[in-house]
Amino acid sequence: MRGHHTSGHVLLVVDVGNTQTHFGAFDGERLVQHWRFATARESTADELGAALRNLMELRGLGLADLRASIISSTVPQLAPEWAETCRRYLGHEPIIVGPGLRTGMDIRYPNPSEIGADRLVNSVAIRERFGGPAICVDFGTAVNFDIIDADGAYLGGVLAPGVEISLAALTERGAKLPRIDLVPPRSVIGKSTVEAIRSGVIYGYAALVDGLVRRLRGELGQRSDVIATGGLAGRIVPFTEEVDEVDDLLTLTGLRLLHGRNTR
């Protein structure tokens, strides 16, 4: 293998989001590589297999290196396609994150099957890392807040419309509003329409995160660790006051932990 020395027993972890698919290859606890590509809802198992092979080969890895896999999908029709990709091209049956999977934590939620796969995975990761209490803020298609209490039990969360959804709705509904990129605003007071929108989105979402985290900590009754993840975390978190750190690999780590708990 070019460039990467692995044990030959590499775990494929796949996080299928509504906007992006993030996947990685773990050799034991070591993340060898990870990749992102745009999620296309109509992708077939063959197309996913081709994307997987091509992206891996760019980093000197091959399909033959992948001996096991676990898949978390917030897009229902893509979970069976990814499963078929694993059967057809990797020669094994993957684990699909869903109800009935061993999480290693108490889930204090009336209907656990309602909890999105990505939220469950993130909660496993923060519980392992911090014990509790802890809050994960995931900047995906929605901004998800998931909460672990002092006993390490999953309590529930908060969902707010995501940054990209809000921006898209704003620019589609307001015909004269330009599409913008999210570079940091020079000041809170915008001196142009573009600057005003940047300020509203970046400072607005930073304030949303800070305000909700303060309320969540108030409800928990104690100080808790706060970790952010997801595609746009890096744009918003620098302007927050309550988030302790950003971990872009949190969901992939949670998938690795879940795989270990369901294969022993």
**Which residue type occupies 118?**
D
Of the residues 15, 65, 118, 146, only one is catalytic, namely 118
Q: How many CB atoms neighbour CB 208 within 10 A?
A: 18
**Which residue type occupies 55?**
L
Peptide bond just before 133 cis, omega within 30 deg:
yes
CA distances 6 to 57, 67, 189, 248, Å, are: 15, 12, 52, 23
CA distances 65 to 6, 60, 261, Å, are: 8, 11, 22
Element (H, E) at 30: strand 30-38
Two tokens, residue 42 = 């109509």
Determine the Cα–Cα distance for residues 192 and 203; give it in Å rounded to an integer: 16
Catalytic residue flag (residue 15): no
Determine the Cα–Cα distance for residues 20 and 223; give it in Å rounded to an integer: 32
Which sequence positions are flagged as catalytic? 118
